[in-house]
């Protein structure tokens, strides 16, 4: 077993190009996050269906919503799942291909080490959302003044 591992390390380092050996751009060298989805599916960490997601809200590591979700529905989801990190990535066809959930626009990932790895990698390719706004910058709304 040790010999196999040593052989794999040597063979992968031998086939790296010069940019990778010198320390090329990490984003370009990063393998796609989709490689982890079969493991998520096999471990049954992906959950679909809004009633079930609401029931398991405290046990979710993050929520993945599709890019074709309407803005009004997205706002509704962000309000209902406050406190759960929400990432926007993929479309309905990709979700069906990777998780075998048909017509699903929201997929929750149960808390686990594997879900943490998927979330860590999805943060780099997907859009992180916060309740009511995108996380790209602070809100530009003026503070509300109340009468006494």
Residue 55 within a domain? yes
Per-residue pLDDT of the chain in tens (148 residues, 90 and over written 9) = 454 544 444 444 444 444 444 444 445 566 889 999 999 999 999 999 999 999 999 999 999 999 999 999 999 999 999 999 999 999 999 999 999 999 999 999 999 999 999 999 999 988 998 754 444 433 344 444 555 5
Q: Burial level of 27, CB count in 10 A (0-12/13-18/19+)?
A: exposed
Report the Cα–Cα distance between both ends of the chain, in Å, rounded: 74
CB 124 within 8 Å of CB 27: yes
Q: What is the pTM of this model?
A: 0.69
CATH, residue 116: 3.30.1330.30
**Is 93:67 a contact under the CB 8 Å cutoff?**
no
Our count of domains for the chain comes to 1
Q: Does residue 147 sit within a domain?
A: no
In a domain, 10, yes or no: no
Residue-number span of the structural domain to which 116 is assigned: 30-129
**Contact yes or no for 127/87 (Cβ under 8 A):** yes
């Amino acid at each position: 077993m040790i010999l196999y591992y040593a052989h794999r390390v040597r063979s992968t380092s031998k086939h790296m190009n010069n940019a990778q050996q010198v320390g090329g751009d990490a984003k370009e060298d990063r393998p796609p996050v989709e490689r982890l989805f079969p493991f998520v599916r096999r471990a049954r960490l992906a959950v679909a269906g809004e009633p079930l997601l609401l029931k398991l809200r405290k046990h979710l590591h993050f929520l993945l919503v599709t890019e074709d979700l309407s803005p009004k529905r997205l706002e509704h989801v962000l309000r209902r799942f406050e406190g759960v990190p929400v990432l926007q990535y993929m479309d309905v066809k990709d979700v069906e291909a990777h998780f075998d959930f048909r017509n699903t626009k929201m997929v929750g990932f149960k808390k686990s080490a594997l879900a943490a790895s998927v979330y860590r990698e999805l943060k780099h390719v997907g859009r992180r959302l916060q309740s009511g706004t995108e996380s790209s910058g602070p809100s530009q709304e003026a503070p509300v003044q109340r009468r006494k």
